[in-house]
Amino acid sequence: MMHWTNTKRLLAGLAVATALSSIALALPAQAASLRMAWSQDATGLDPHKQTAFSSLRLLELIYEPLVRLDADLNVVPAVADSWEFTDGGLTLTFKLNPNAKFSDGAQVKSADVKASFERLLNEETAAAARSNFLSIASIDTPDDTTVVFKLSQPDAPILVAMATINAAVVPAAGIGTIETTAVGSGPFKLDSWSPNEKEVLSANANWAGGKVGVDGITISVLPDETAILASLRAGQTDFALLNDPLVATLVPNEPNLQLNAIPGLAYNVLQLNPARKPMDDLKVRQAISCAVNRQEVLDTALVGEGKVTGPLTMPAYASDPNSLFCYTQDVEKAKQLMAESSSPDGFTAKVIAATGEPPVASSEAQVLQSQLAAIGVKLEIELMELNVYVDRWLAGDFDMAVAQNGGRPDPYPMYNRYFTKDGNLQKVSNFVDDELDSLLQQGRVETDVAKRKEIFQKFEARLAELSPWIWLSTSNTYTAQLKTVKGFVPSPTGTLFGLSAVTIE
């Protein structure tokens, strides 16, 4: 039995603890380290070369481009304070924020911007967004805070193209170590990275965007999103990136958790490889498109969280998917097309999918496998780790691929790298069509909004009819957090840049 004196001490201690808790609740939010979790780690640190969403989400916290997109997809300042088109759209001048500094304290200068874009344009870099900037003829730096881009042609979407971490400004002096050392001008700096285990970031005291709301972020890589949800429930994680809609739908049931869900621009797609037989046959590709029930894929693999989409997912340009070729499943038409094709008896193909990005890739592949069996197409599913998948995907080394590709607010920077003759990811699509190339170029130089929409709707209709890929759906972007985390604003791009503003109560 507990002694009465000890009991009084215990009760007194509880009273003091309760009083302290009340005082703590009354105090304003204090800076602290944010405990974050995700299930898929970054695959590399080079902001110009990374294509995996997990890598981009990390690097957006460390680096900054000249401009960025806000939550409403407007172009807003980042490293640059202001910009202006002159000379009939052939000159684009940026004035840099004179207070912009890299995490090592060095000022971000025009020479850094020039070196960054010269690296992007160098074919040997293999930059993910290189073809978005081929209109840049020269770069002048009249002073430390002025950058002048001379363009070979008007380029209406170039600002949107620049508003991505694939166009990050990196220090000219550190370009030689960019793949192993991350020195950016963003809100956080990378203190350590243990691949597939954790990242430790601290607030960048030199960030020109203002004071960061937390002292730092520790990102833990957990085995799956069920484990992430368990960690959130236990109060061991403050904030998490979720990709699995099935897990995300469980979050609102938790009294201490908040789900942030917003329709995304990224799209889920079955990529065919027209460089390989029999996908080089238009009728085979169209048969596959007609055989797919996109709504069933969405309802089964994504538990209905998202919507069926055509190639253009951005609100300003999206059209009704039902207006596109064979967007309503028509198995009889699919069978007829196969009968008229080079493979009337069907064929076997391998489809690659990553295990973690997105988590629904395997489920999507299984639904597609079942649907395509109806027209004699036998899919063999190859699941692989994300870094292996990315290498295979970039090399175009697949018959088919289940993918989730990033969206953009403008169609040109979204698709030119795949579907123009000079596109730097043309090896991924293995598909060139003169009319698609021409429509993209027309949309690039056109500045009238209504005319651009008309051009890109023609592009979308032709792309769906030629069926080099089978577009399936968009999905929501999800983050989950303890209710003690305040101030995060989600974005349709999926960026976690909003973590720069969060506080913890």
Domains and CATH numbers, the chain: 33-41+182-263+478-504 (3.40.190.10), 63-173 (3.90.76.10), 264-476 (3.10.105.10)
Task: Give the span between the Cα atoms of 235 and 257, in whole angstroms.
Answer: 9
**What is the number of other CB atoms lying within 10 angstroms of the CB of residue 447?**
11
The first and second tokens of residue 150, run together, are 């001379």
- Residue that is written with structure tokens 């215990």 in the block: 10
> Given this model, what pLDDT does residue 28 score?
42
- Tens-place pLDDT, residues 336-379: 999 999 999 999 999 999 987 788 999 999 999 999 999 999 99
The residue with tokens 């899919």 is 379
DSSP lists the bridge partners of residue 108 as none
Which candidate, 498, 484, 443, 418, places its Cα nearest to that of 317? 443
- Res 31: pLDDT: 64
**Distance of alpha carbon 309 from alpha carbon 318, whole angstroms:** 8
So what's the pLDDT on residue 358?
84
* Rounded (10°) angle between helices 282-291 and 449-466: 100
For residue 66, the SS3 value is: coil
Give the residue ranges of the chain where pLDDT is below 70: 1-31
Q: Can you tell me the distance from the alpha carbon of 357 to that of 39, in angstroms, rounded to the nearest whole number? A: 9
* CA–CA distance, 68 with 64 (Å, rounded to integer): 8
As a whole number of Å, the end-to-end CA separation of the chain is 39
pLDDT of residue 329: 97
pLDDT for 357 equals 78
Check residue 277 and report its DSSP letter. Answer: T
8 Å CB contact between 311 and 415: yes
282-291 and 331-339 helices cross at what angle (nearest 10)?
160
Give counts: helices (H), strands (E), the chain. Answer: 15, 19
- Is the torsion defined by CA of 129, 82, 154, 413 positive or negative? positive
For position 17, what pLDDT does the model report?
A: 36
> Is 369 exposed, middle or buried, given 0-12, 13-18 or 19+ CB atoms closer than 10 A?
middle
Q: What are the tokens at 222?
A: 């957990």
Residues 432 and 422: their CA atoms lie apart, in Å, by 10
pLDDT of amino acid 1: 35
Comparing CA positions, the residue from 108, 301, 330 lying closest to residue 206 is: 108
